[in-house]
Structure formats: structure tokens, C-alpha cells
Structure 1
Amino acid sequence: MATPVLSAERLAASYSYATYRQLIDALQAEGKTTGPQQSQLLTDYTHLNVQRMSRLDKTVQLLPELHTALATLEKPYVCVVITEGWCGDAAQIVPVLEAVAQASAGKLTTHYLLRDENLDLIDQYLTDGGRSIPKLVVLEADTLVEVAQWGPRPAPAQTMFLELKSQQLPFEEFSTQLHGWYAKDKTQSTQQELAQLIQTLS
């Protein structure tokens, strides 16, 4: 029998989207962010990310093919999202994951875990040897066994990320180009890949 990805107790201790956002806001008020590393730079990134998430919460419109894929789900699944408040990619993607779950008529439930508090978990889902986030892990609701995974970013963004990384650009330029891609894409690539993933569950 396949092994559960995590225990029911650990899942129960995870954040909902609302409590995840509340945690980030509370830390921001103290001049902090999530995770053990604290710096003004990370706090500034987190402030930007709160703005990104708030904007996306209001503007994400799910694609018709995503609604179609959701309608084919015959049983419930647990969606574990490994994330952090300072992560720019997470800010661009997490609101989309939540919107998909909200549109699933209860078939998908989201549970948010902080990467640096769950290193044993993220270390099962490394990207090119790195602890890249966000990471979505879809589990059978009754067994908590993995059935699918996705992340840390849609394929076109990952390609761009690797190209920019190879150029060894200053971080600000790197970040500006990557977030410029997200702005132009308007969550379409993320949604299309999520639709394909959901279809594999049906």
C-alpha cells in the first residue's frame, strides 16, 4: 500500500488560505515575514507579495476548460500547498490555486504549509535539487497518498527562470523580468496546466 505523504494530524495543523494570509499580514505589521530568515529585503518582498495576492484575489477569472475539468471530478482530493510569504512566485500562483479550489464545489480542499517549517516535506519535492516553491501536492482525501504534483511555476515561466539564472543577472533585473512575464500571462499558463492536471484525476 502506498505511504501517506503526511499524517492527518499534520494536515489538521496546516493553514487555510485565510489564516495563511492573516499570518503574513500579522508578521508584516511587526516588520517581519514567514520563515527563520529575516531581513528588510525579505520584508519588502513580502509587502509586494501581499499587494500581488490581493490584486489576484479580486481579478482571477478561471478559464472555461478549468471549469470543465473541475466538473469531471468524481471524488474529493486534498491539495497541500508548500509556500512562504516572501516568495514572489507563490504570490503569483497561490491565489490561482485557491480560486480553483473555491470553484470545485468542495472536491478540492487547500491546506497551506510553510516550506521552512516542513523541510522534510519539501525535500520530497525538490526541483533540480532546490527547495523551489510554491509546490502543489494533490492527495487522495481518504488515504493522503499522492496522486499528482505541480510547481514551482508554469513551464514557460520555469524556462524563463532558468534562462535568466544562467545569465547571472542582478536579482532586481531578474525579478522584474520574471514578474513582467506573470503580468503579461495573466495566470493563463498556470490555469491551463492546472486544468491538465485535474483531468488526470478524473
Structure 2
Amino acid sequence: MQTQEISLSNLLEIGWAKGMSYQQYRLLVQKLALEKKSTGPIQTESLIDYTMLNDRRMKRWDKVLKLDDETVLKIKKVNQRINWLVLTESWCGDASPALPVMNKISELNPNISFKILLRDENLELMNQFLTNGSMSIPKLISFDATDKDVMGTWGSRSKAATELVEDFKREHGELTAEFKQNLQIWYNKDKGNSILKDLLSLLSLK
């Protein structure tokens, strides 16, 4: 057990050192979209299309995302130094509404630091944080900045979005392209609130 804890601590430390800032990640996705490429070892037309879509979506989320005054005050009260490390890829549709919310929170409080890692370049760390045995992304790991103790995780979707997905899977077996498009419409109507609610709970803020 002790060896596993040291191993995870080391993985988090290595991952944090390699991690990109949100601004660096946005520039990377923007560049890939222009070049008609995606992150990851596999380049397919659909992954490239999703990368281009996500670039546009994140650009819009960065502009329209607003937090109310009460929420801002709650976030500013966090006095523990926390690192948020998220594993994702440029083509991940659920990341496009989530990463801007994470970034907005971290911008409001210097005690919350936020970095991004590419999943397929960090499989050893990803395998420590599987969701029902799957490498689902985005996956946010929240850990103490000093002692590297994991405080919690989030992903790959908000609880509200996960319920929608599970209901659809029960009825239809698998997610369709039409459902994925409808889920993005739902995210837009939700305005990031379900993601924000989950992340505030992760920070022990109600």
C-alpha cells in the first residue's frame, strides 16, 4: 500500500511538472484546428472535426461564462493550496464546457492552480483514475499542492449530464451522434451551472 501511495504521488508530481496552463492548451487546440489535426496518436476525420468544434465551443464559453457574486465570494474563501490537474484530449466533447469553468474558478483564487495533461501521453496516471474501468475524459484530479494527497476527482461529466447519458444508454444501448449534439445543446442551456455545482462540492463549497 505504501509503495502505491508513493507511486501515485510521484505520478502527480511528474504530471504537474509537465502540465500545460489553460492558455497554452487553448493555443494548442487553436493551432491544431487551423492545421486540421487533433491531439493523440490517431488522426481521423471525426477526431479532427471534434477538435475544430471544441476550439469554437471553448472560445464561446470563455466569452459567455459568468459566475454570480455569491459563487465568486465562496471561491475566494478557499485558503488551502490546491492543484487541479485534468486529463483530456482536443477532441473530447465533454471537455469543451468543463475546462472553461475550471479555468474561471482558478482565475478567481490564487490558491487554486489549474493545469492540463493529454491523456494518451500520460496513460500511467490515467490508469490510476479510471471511471467504471474506462479512461473517460475529461478527468479532473484535485490534490493538495504541498503533500500531493488526492482530495477528490471529477469527470467525465457533471452528475446531471451523466444521468442524461445513462438514461439514453439504458433505452438505446449506445450514444448516437444525434444524442451527442443534443447534449451540447443541453450544456449551452445549462450555462455551465451543473459543472460549477459539482466543482464547488469538490472544493467543499455549497
> What's the TM-score, normalizing by structure 2?
0.89
The residue number in structure 2 matching 1:137 is 141
Query: 1: distance between equivalents of 2:36 and 2:181?
Result: 23
Out of 102, 126, 138, the position equivalent to 2:107 is 102
The residue number in structure 2 matching 1:197 is 202
Amino acid across the alignment from 2:154: W
Out of 40, 55, 66, the position equivalent to 1:50 is 55
Structure 1 runs of 4+ aligned residues shifted over 6 Å read none
Gaps in structure 2 of 5+ consecutive residues: none
Amino acid across the alignment from 1:107: N
Compared CA separation, residues 47 and 73, structure 1 to 2 (3 A):
same
1:120 lines up with 2:114 in the alignment: no
Aligned residue pairs total: 200
The residue number in structure 1 matching 2:178 is 173
Amino acid across the alignment from 1:47: M
The residue number in structure 2 matching 1:30 is 35
The residue number in structure 1 matching 2:19 is 14
Offset, 1:185: 0.7
The residue number in structure 2 matching 1:81 is 86
Quick check: 2:168–2:175 contact (8 Å CA) kept in 1? no
Offset, 1:145: 2.0
What CA deviation, in whole Å up to 9, does each residue of 1:149-183 have, x standing for no partner? Answer: 11111111001112223314663212122112111
SS state at 1:157 partner:
helix
Gaps in structure 1 of 5+ consecutive residues: none
Offset, 1:124: 1.4
SS state at 2:195 partner:
helix
What CA deviation, in whole Å up to 9, does each residue of 1:73-94 have, x standing for no partner? Answer: 1221111011111000001110
Q: Which has the higher contact order (CA 8 A, sep 6+)?
A: 1
> What's the TM-score, normalizing by structure 1?
0.91
% identity of equivalent residues: 36
SS state at 2:85 partner:
strand
